[in-house]
Amino acid sequence: MGIKTKGKKVALISVFNKSGIEEFARALVDIGWFIFSSGGTAKTLAKAGIPVTDVAELVGGAAILGHRVVTLSREVHAGLLARQIPEDDMEMAKLGLPYIDMVVCDFYPMKDIIAKPGATIASVVEMTDIGGPTMVRSAAKGGRIVICDAADRQWVFDELKANDGKLTPEHLQWMRAKAEITVANYCLNSARFHSKGKFDGIIGQEKAPCKYGENPYMTPAAFFTTGSNDPLAIDKFKLVQGTDPSFINYTDIDRLLQTITHIAAGFDLNFGKMPFIGTGVKHGNPCGAAVGNDPELVIEEMVMGDHLAVFGGFVMFNFELTAKLVEILLTTNMPDDKRLLLDGVIAPSITTEAIEMLKRKQDKCRILINPALANLDKDSLDKAERIRPVRGGFLKQPNYTYILNLKDPQLVITKGKNLHDQWAPSEEDNEDLILAWAVGCTSNSNTSTLAFQGQLLGNGVGQQSRVASCQVAIFRAKAADHITRSSIAYTDSFFPEPDGPEELAKAGISIVFASSGSVKDEIVRAKCQELGITIVQLPDKVCRGFFGH
């Protein structure tokens, strides 16, 4: 064979997605690199006038078996795995093979084929890359420069140009790790498909370290991104002020997203409109939520939902925060010489002046923005599967994507006594019901939730009995100085006994949403009628709102 590379550094380029590859290859040639390539990539580079040698000349023959075997040859892998030691130098010279210093390779888009309707074993196997992942792993093992992500091309070139064609050991080790995880993710997608989901796993990249986990002794801890394209994925939020979020901050952000998107989805589906929305979370559960047409009032009512709990909490809005709005946020219900302390504030955008106002000592208020929050609708719910680790394994389930539909034909309304036949919940009642549902179904069950005139009044979360969740919701509402009379209640499953409605009646609740499915449904409905409560129901298998176990 004896291909002469004239002492140049050698790159082997083989990419499925040709976007930008001409510019990168030309840049390498300009700084003295020799290029091998194969198939379509070689044709693309040659057509662009870039000096390129077909890898077939290295391996001693063209692609075989319908292009299934190209780079799967000992000549290529010798060039990638040979060490810079005298014994290997001698053997490579004897074989007439060059060292290959760089591999630039992406893989056949198997994941896209899997995602297509009607994907078959044959169609997926046909687009399963073998040579690419093998070549990438050989390059990683051999300590070569390995680029399997187009986003890495520019910084690699800049480093090579600035450092006489070399990368630091730290850079090479990072690329080795990235090559291995890229191949692992590719193989995991294949395993998921071929096993019909019987094999699974999670692959992510550390996005930000956390000082510790839920408690100081729980180290190390970090936030990992899975590389989702979801515009509301947490890695799409930009930190514009403050220290990196803590572990608990991240869990609160995730809960805020669940709650605000459920509110948005409920309003979009049922009323075809999107109000201004404000939500507050403390230790993983909503403690403030409000909707309305006036952002100033929404902020006030969100804070006043539970003004004690929101202190030190995390808040999220679907509208821009200005200095005027932040002044309301920080001063509502506070003494003249005090301001509300928050661990974090999130909005689609926040003005520079508002950011300055939100700053805390030691940068303890994390301020994040994501423009996608301004465009919430019924399609904004998180659809990714939810995975929870348990000892010795993990649990997996679909996400919480149910949206309460008040026009569902299965909906049954049992009116309280003294209501005339034509009575029906008003639009304001229904809006409060949707607000209560969205908060309650994104709070740790068992949960009962009270809302009135676009404001969360009380959220009784995480109780072992349904009646206790009603009692806690009422207690929290009264502790926050709310009047519960005529408010709307939501509970996340059915009432097993009439004791829950009895507690709600004492507090003056007028309408309650609960599922049906209890052996005592008729007794509960009769008790609600007797107490003057209108109970709105859907079957438990349709609408049960258990969350966060």
What is the average pLDDT score of the chain?
A: 94
CATH 3.40.50.1380 domain locations along the chain: 10-194
pLDDT over threshold 80, residue 59? no
Q: Tens digit of pLDDT for each residue in 322-343?
A: 999 999 999 999 998 899 999 9
Rounded distance between C-alpha atoms, residue 264 and residue 403, angstroms: 10
Q: Give the pLDDT band (50/70/90) at residue 2.
A: low
Q: Which CATH code fits 10-194?
A: 3.40.50.1380
Structure confidence at residue 67 (pLDDT) = 62
pLDDT over threshold 60, residue 180? yes
pLDDT over threshold 70, residue 66? no
Question: Given 3-state DSSP classes, what are the helix, strand and coil percentages for the chain, each rounded to the nearest 5?
Answer: 40, 20, 40
Q: What is the mean pLDDT of residues 107-120?
A: 93
pTM value is 0.92
CATH 3.40.140.20 domain locations along the chain: 236-375, 404-543
Contact 509, 448 (CB under 8 A): no
Structure confidence at residue 362 (pLDDT) = 86
Rounded distance between C-alpha atoms, residue 137 and residue 270, angstroms: 52
Rounded distance between C-alpha atoms, residue 310 and residue 302, angstroms: 9
Q: Tens digit of pLDDT for each residue in 339-352?
A: 999 999 999 999 99
pLDDT over threshold 80, residue 88? yes
Q: What tokens does 376 get?
A: 């919430």
- CA distances (Å), origin 462, targets 248, 286, 391, 548: 18, 12, 22, 9
Q: What is the 3-state secondary structure (H, E, C) of 75-127?
A: HHHHHHHCCCCHHHHHHHHHHCCCCCCEEEECCCCHHHHHHCCCCCHHHHHHC
Contacts of 75-78 spanning 24+ positions with Cβ under 8 A: 75/1, 76/12, 76/100, 76/135, 76/138, 77/134, 77/135, 77/138
Q: Tens digit of pLDDT for each residue in 385-423?
A: 999 999 999 999 999 999 999 999 999 999 999 888 888
Q: What percent of the chain is modeled with pLDDT above 70? A: 98
Structure confidence at residue 68 (pLDDT) = 66
Rounded distance between C-alpha atoms, residue 9 and residue 132, angstroms: 21
Q: Give the pLDDT band (50/70/90) at residue 64.
A: low
Structure confidence at residue 79 (pLDDT) = 92
Q: Tens digit of pLDDT for each residue in 222-268?
A: 999 999 999 999 999 999 999 999 999 999 999 999 999 999 999 99
Structure confidence at residue 165 (pLDDT) = 86
pLDDT over threshold 70, residue 538? yes
Q: Give the pLDDT band (50/70/90) at residue 7.
A: confident
Rounded distance between C-alpha atoms, residue 232 and residue 42, angstroms: 39
Residues 6+ apart with CB under 8 A from 28: 11, 35, 102, 157
Q: Tens digit of pLDDT for each residue in 361-387?
A: 888 899 999 999 999 999 999 999 999
Structure confidence at residue 428 (pLDDT) = 95
pLDDT over threshold 80, residue 71? no
Q: Which CATH code fits 236-375?
A: 3.40.140.20
Structure confidence at residue 496 (pLDDT) = 96
Structure confidence at residue 65 (pLDDT) = 65
Identity of the highest mean pLDDT range in 40-49, 155-164, 456-465:
456-465
**CA-CA-CA-CA torsion sign (404, 408, 412, 415):** positive
Q: Tens digit of pLDDT for each residue in 189-231?
A: 999 999 999 999 999 999 999 999 999 999 999 999 999 999 9
Q: Tens digit of pLDDT for each residue in 74-84?
A: 889 999 999 98
Contact 282, 276 (CB under 8 A): no
Q: Give the pLDDT band (50/70/90) at residue 41.
A: very high
pLDDT over threshold 60, residue 1? no
Topology classification of domain 404-543: Cytidine Deaminase; domain 2 (3.40.140)
